[in-house]
Structure 1
């Protein structure tokens, strides 16, 4: 690469001149807070009440990131139902498969799970960034997660994302200024 090419490359690191994102109205902040509180609260309660006694986790860390998208940015294409549910399920399946095939090579299993999840979410039009974490959790989640095997794609990935979706449908449509979803499929 020529010197000019390197200069252009490094210039990209400066970002654009668009400036900082605009401030969010306090109503948006409030409804984002309510959605996250109710969505994760319901998920946690269901998990403790019905799933923990059966050694099934219902709450995984990637759902925190999903809550940011669903309740904090409900109009984002990455927060739509297809992306939320499909992204978690596809990624969970990939994560479990990578664990089963490459558990003796944890570095490979971890990186392959996330990279392959991104590729498959792109190909299935279900890109949901927290899905990458769902795939990674399948690999690094420990004995309780590993014991689930492919059940991990159903509980917690599918059932948890459907619970967050149900709350998003209710909460994001309460105020006049919000609408959810933008699209289903």
Structure 2
């Protein structure tokens, strides 16, 4: 089961196309901001964990882990956790492990579990010098900003067909 009550082996072509369109528009919007609006700046917006968020938001929009609170809270809290461990644990392998494990615990405790959040925490530790230079601002740009762009795309695309309703709940 995929969280929407359907058998994953029998997803309709129509649902597949809506998932494709949503992911294309959502990731396209994040990429557009990264490569056009932030061109010539040190702004970083496009991170790998957003690809996994797109799978949830557009592939299984009814799933509990795809809801807005999980998307936004999961990315922002995990970003903060990742930056903390990147800054305070000198061994990268240990910082990475602590960041992901703690991000999972924090997301559980705050009811914001979003699996791509683990990757957001990990990116804060193993990311480029540009990512490290952001410090705690990483929680705002890219984590919050990118999640909000994906959320707007999910609200628009997932409510066009009568077969989809997003979100299932806000809290």
**TM interval, short-chain normalised:** over 0.9
Residue 34 of structure 1, aligned match among 21, 25, 28: 21
- Normalized against structure 2, the TM-score is what? 0.94
Aligned pairs, number = 165
Structure of greater Rg: 1
Unaligned runs of 5+ in 1: 1-19
Counterpart position of 1:54: 41
1:106 and 1:67 map into 2 onto residues whose CA distance is 28
**2:77 is the counterpart of 1:70:** no
Counterpart position of 2:73: 86
Q: Deviations over 1:129-158 (max 9, x none)?
A: 000000000000020100000000000000
Which 4+ runs in 1 deviate beyond 6 A? none
**2:117 is the counterpart of 1:131:** yes
Unaligned runs of 5+ in 2: 1-6
Counterpart position of 2:139: 153
